[in-house]
Amino acid sequence: MVQQPLPAEYTSLTDDEVSSRIEAAKAKLGKRAVVLGHHYQRDEIIKHADFTGDSYKLAKHAAAHPDAEFIVFCGVHFMAESADILTTLDQKVILPNLAAGCSMADMANRFQVKTAWKQMGQHLDLSEVIPITYINSAANIKEFVGRNGGAVCTSSNARGALEWALERGSRVMFFPDQHLGRNTAVDMGFDPDEDMVLWDPFKRMGGIDPEKLKKAKFILWKGHCSVHARFTVEQIEKARKDHPDVNVLVHPECTLDVVNASDLDGSTEFIKKTIEDAEPGSTWAIGTEINLVSRLGQEHPDKTVFCLDPQICPCATMYRIHPSFLLWTLEKLAEGEVVNQISVPEETAKWSKIALERMLEISADPKAKKA
């Protein structure tokens, strides 16, 4: 599906008009609709969300509201797919802008993953390889994982997922974000050089020597988050120079050297809670998406909160959920017309749901990696 341009009547509205009409449409829909907002969304979206959270928390919210006819997911495509898989057949999941995708999720498609799996099978006993996909992946990737005894994870429960996998096999195939996989495995005590290899989907055998592959405990996919890859050790050093009392807090999608140079690292939800619980007067440099960092600064004026990268842009795909798109979808629903429904094919949903339910059973780690 391709997102069509909004009707002119929506693009000509003022911000206040959009906001008031969103609330009117929500009131008309009542309990028939639940609006979910990811922490990376702009404030103009978050204020209309019934529930906010990271991918893990929102997946749980989606599954926890079986009575809602519509789940309006203000996030990106893979999140809406996950919500569709976890909700009932009678519920409809809506993505306000179909162009809201995820560049990381696009770094591992099903053909590439199946090809990699087949090539690995030439040198490994695949029954001993447990695939773990980050929730930032397409539904058909989650289907592959479910079929092959694996699970989905989020940054909130990545360690639990890797421990779960190693209880069931001798090695883990982790994709699509290499950095979350590497940082989590290092935190568990594994060596990034000896125990891990990086699979490049554009090279034969991932560009890995078969003997090195056989020794690896973790096969990491060559993917990354374009936002979190921007943070650097130099930015941390500057923050410490400018603010000697600064606490550096980053997301585990950052590179290993950035995570090692930080004071704390953890999921989006962990970052939020850490700032909420921080001492008044404390100073925090945060390495994650700017909308969340700015919101935390506004919500906690008694603390100094700033982004490690002063030039960083919002997550471009998240930013495509403009309030005008949310208004359009809600008013159409209120009029009885369903637009932008995300519907995962039945067979794909069957196996994806198994992988997602395993994710929900693996508890999130409430602690920082360097508490």
pLDDT in tens, 140-159: 999 999 999 999 998 989 99
| DSSP secondary structure of 82-106 | HHHHHS-TT-EEE-S-TT---TTGG
Number of Cβ within a 10 Å radius of residue 356: 25
pLDDT on residue 38: 87
Class of the domain covering 8-101+317-345: alpha beta
The token pair at 187 is: 């935190």
Model confidence over 47-59: pLDDT tens digits?
999 999 887 788 8
Fold of domain 228-307: Rossmann fold (3.40.50)
pLDDT on residue 368: 38
pLDDT on residue 75: 87
157 with 359: CB under 8 angstroms? yes
pLDDT on residue 37: 93
pTM assigned to the model: 0.87
pLDDT on residue 313: 63
Fold of domain 105-226: Rossmann fold (3.40.50)
Q: Tens place of pLDDT for every residue, the chain, 371 residues?
A: 678 889 889 999 999 999 999 999 999 999 999 999 988 888 899 999 999 988 778 888 888 899 999 999 998 888 898 899 889 999 999 999 998 878 888 899 999 999 999 999 999 999 999 999 998 899 999 999 999 999 999 898 999 999 999 999 999 999 999 999 999 999 999 999 999 999 999 999 999 999 999 999 999 999 998 889 999 999 999 999 999 999 999 999 999 999 999 999 999 889 999 999 999 999 999 999 888 999 999 999 999 999 999 777 667 677 788 999 999 999 999 999 999 999 999 999 999 999 999 998 887 554 434 43
Angle between the N-to-C axes of helices 346-361 and 55-63, in degrees from 0 to 180, rounded to the nearest 10: 110
**The two domains 105-226 and 228-307 share their CATH topology (first three levels equal):** yes
SS (H, E, C) 314-348: CCCCHHHCCHHHHHHHHHHHHCCCCCCEECCCHHH
For residue 246, the surrounding DSSP H or E stretch is: strand 246-250
159 with 188: CB under 8 angstroms? yes
The token pair at 263 is: 């004071």
Distances (CA, A) of 31 to 8, 28, 250: 29, 9, 37
* Domain regions of the chain by residue span: 8-101+317-345, 105-226, 228-307
CA–CA gap between residue 189 and residue 165 (Å, rounded): 16
